Amino acid sequence: MSTPSRPPLPERAVDTTAEQPWPVRLLSMKIGEYVEKMSVLWVEGQVVQLTRRPGARTAYLTLRDPDVDMSLSVSIHVNALDAMPGPLGEGARVVLQAKPSFWTQRGSLMLDARQIRPVGVGELLARLEYLKRHLAQEGLFDRDRKQPLPFLPRRVGLVCGRASAAERDVVENALRRWPATRFEIRQVAVQGATAVTEVTAALAELDAHPEVDVVVIARGGGSVEDLLPFSNEAMLRAVAAARTPVVSAIGHDVDTPLLDLVADHRASTPTDAAKAIVPDAEAERAGVSAARDRARRALSGRLHHERRRLVELRSRPVLTDRGAFVRTQRDVVQALRDRAHRRVEAQLHRAHDHLAHLRFQVRALSPQSTLDRGYAIVQQPDGVVVTDPVDLEVGDLLRVRVARGDFGVRTVGTDDVPARR
């Protein structure tokens, strides 16, 4: 029997399916063919590992991006290495001409280097100057975005090298100035291939610490190449984005990495950083003593001034005879009392006269005065005053009131009185 033929493999990756996949060898060859089409290029990076065996014609190195944790393997002929002006060491910045190649058996990408050149200090400085202008235009160096340092931080964050002199200078000088200073120290690589990532990670960790009020990034002096990590754009942006104030203490006075411009405070040396982050206890104590002395002198001067004013007041004539003022006031009070008494008496006299006038008017208008003039009041037994004779009958008993009493009478018939019907 004949073996059934297998269907042909897809020509393109987009045509592959679960039923018709590519084998690993085909994918590797496809990738190799694609990489092979790439042209020769120039690439820049930092050498982090160099392997050169005696007698071998090919050397191998790892080229790392100085800003991020990415690297590529590079193979280079030893003649190209020997053509460099100086020996190539780890951490050096280089540019190399290479052709990308893909090793199908290992499934790894490598660069086949043709030429390699060191990046000179002049070129590095030119790039730093360009980065400096670019960041300045973004406002990362502006003074108004810098945060003030706390007067007395609860805890000081310190990013420094492992067992470095910079750490010793910051810690010892800070404790000498303020013995109660507490530190949160992160020891990292401060030069080389991993310096940027380690310093940035330590800064992020200290920035998130709840008690760290200031972060110091410290390193001793060095060459331009040694201090390059502290002019790295990724680190500079991390410092600019930190919520905690950052102090840059890199190198000496003559060293000017870009970190000094981005940080909230620039210290010329690690020792100067210790002076910036904590106050001097002796100076503060002297300041408090001086303030206390000034306050004591001011209070003493004020008391002396007030005592002198009191003596001046007591020496005045009005206070020499202490009873003079009382006598004067007594005379004033007596005069007021006399005036008040006279005013009350005058009001009483006027009220008495007015009352007599009212009494005379009442008497003149009273019914008794009318009776005294000879008039009489005639009333019926029920008290009704008689005002018309027609209301009476013959024999009615009437009461007649005169000025000095009353008496009864009876009506009698006369011709003048008409009879009631």
Q: How does pLDDT run across 297-319, given as a tens digit for each residue?
A: 999 999 999 999 988 887 777 66
- Report which DSSP code applies to 419: P
SS3 state of residue 240: helix
In a domain? residue 58: yes
Q: Is residue 60 part of a domain?
A: yes
339 shares its domain with 381: no
Which of 219, 253, 279 finishes a domain?
279
187 located within any domain: yes
For the chain, the average pLDDT equals: 85
Note whether 109 and 87 are same-domain residues: yes
Q: Which amino acid is at 120?
A: G
Type and span of the H or E element at 58: strand 58-64
357, 376: one domain: no
| Mode of pairing for the β-strands spanning 93-103 and 41-51 | antiparallel
Tokens of 147: 């945060």
Residue by residue, DSSP assigns 326-367 as HHHHHHHHHHHHHHHHHHHHHHHHHHHHHHHHHHHHHHHHSH
Number of domains in the chain: 4
Q: Which CATH number goes with the domain that contains 194? A: 3.40.50.261
- Bridge partners of 74, per DSSP, are 61, 111
**Whether 244 and 156 share a structural domain:** yes
327 alpha carbon, distance to own chain's centre: 65
Q: Please write the tens of the pLDDT for every residue from 94-153.
A: 888 899 988 888 888 889 988 888 876 666 677 778 888 989 899 999 999 999 999 999
Residue 334 is assigned to a structural domain of this protein: yes
pLDDT at 257: 87
pLDDT over 80 at 370, yes or no: no
Is the predicted pLDDT of residue 414 greater than 70, yes or no? Answer: no
- For the cut 80, the answer to whether the pLDDT of residue 74 exceeds it is yes
Same domain, 86 and 154: no
Q: What is the pTM of this model?
A: 0.54
| 254/169 same-domain check | yes
- Helix boundaries (H) for 243-387: 259-262, 270-277, 281-314, 317-320, 322-365, 367-372
262: Cα within 13 Å, side-chain hemisphere = 26
Tell me whether residue 48 is in a domain.
yes
Q: How many CB atoms lie within 10 A of CB 99?
A: 15
SS3 199: helix
Q: Is residue 324 part of a domain?
A: yes
Say whether both 153 and 268 belong to one domain: yes
Among residues 229, 257, 279, the one where a domain terminates is: 279
**Is there a single domain that holds both residue 356 and residue 396?**
no
Task: Give Cα 318 to chain centroid, integer Å.
Answer: 59
Do 270 and 175 lie in a common domain? yes
- Are 358 and 374 in a shared domain? no
Same domain, 244 and 150: yes
Domain that holds residue 343: 319-362
Based on the fold, state whether residues 80 and 176 are members of the same structural domain: no
CB 195 within 8 A of CB 93: no
Give a yes or no: residue 345 inside a domain: yes
Answer yes or no: are the C-beta atoms of 91 and 192 closer than 8 Å: yes
**pLDDT for position 300:** 93
| Residue 102 belongs to some domain of the structure | yes
Domain C-terminal end among 119, 149, 177: 119
